[in-house]
Amino acid sequence: MKKISIVLLMCLLLLFTMGFVKKGELILTSVEPTVIKTERILRYDFRIKNTGSQRIISTFDYPGNHLLGLEVTVRPNDKLASLMVMSENTGFRKMQLRGSGSAGIIEPGKESSFHVEFQIKENVEVEKVKSTSLDGVLLILDGPKIIAEIPLTDSINKNTN
């Protein structure tokens, strides 16, 4: 019984560390939130650097024809979520997407650009959105798999040092 427990513990530790291999390789070098008042859109422009030695490219495969590659999104915390239109019929906390784009790949030692846009609620003062825009977490996805989670407040701390 003791051997089984030790083996199980070692397997769990191995799975835990393997799941976060790419996390340490991706760094958010800049985030620029923009509020487009006329459209009621919150847009983020990100620069993400790959500090590792391997290129980061999507390995997600599916039977469709339009493979998205790497994707970024923002999981809002409570303050930001209260100002944004949220997606319904999902188990995830998601703001309603209005558009996005990316290079789809991050070469070793290089930065890549990504952008994503979300819908602001009708009854919200858009100035509040700008001041609350960093109340969330950047998710970098390969298909349904989250390969990195980076708090947007990290960009404030890094850029003020």
pLDDT value of residue 35: 97
Locate 82 and state its tokens. 């209260």
- Which token pair is 41? 């859109």
What domain count does the chain have? 1
Q: What would the pLDDT profile of 65-108 be if each residue is shown by its tens digit?
A: 656 678 899 999 999 999 999 999 999 999 999 999 887 889 99
Assigned domain for 69 exists: yes
- Bridge partners (DSSP) listed for residue 118: 42, 97
* Per-residue pLDDT reduced to its tens digit, 28-37: 999 999 999 9
Is 115 a residue whose pLDDT tops 70? yes
Token digits of residue 64: 């469709």
pLDDT digits (tens, 9 = 90+) for 10-67: 444 434 433 434 445 899 999 999 999 999 999 999 999 999 999 888 887 777 665 6
Q: For residue 7, what pLDDT is reported?
A: 45
pLDDT value of residue 60: 77
Does 131 map to a domain? yes
> Which pLDDT does position 129 carry in this prediction?
97
Phi first, then psi, for residue 65 (nearest 5°) are: -110, -10
SS3 17: helix
Question: Does residue 68 fall inside a structural domain?
Answer: yes
pLDDT at position 131 over 80:
yes
Q: Is residue 81 part of a domain?
A: yes
Q: Is residue 12 part of a domain?
A: no
Residue 69: give the domain boundaries.
24-160
pLDDT band at 143; cut points 50, 70, 90: confident
Nearest to 129 by CA among 35, 38, 44, 39: 35
DSSP-H helix ranges across 25-99 = 78-81
Provide the pLDDT for residue 39. 95
Q: Where are the beta strands (DSSP E) in 2-110?
A: 26-36, 41-50, 56-57, 70-76, 97-102, 105-106
Q: Specify the pLDDT at position 16.
A: 41
In CATH, what number is assigned to the domain containing residue 40?
Answer: 2.60.40.10
77 in a domain, yes or no?
Answer: yes
Residue 60 is assigned to a structural domain of this protein:
yes
Higher pLDDT, 125 or 12: 125
Give a yes or no: residue 17 inside a domain.
no
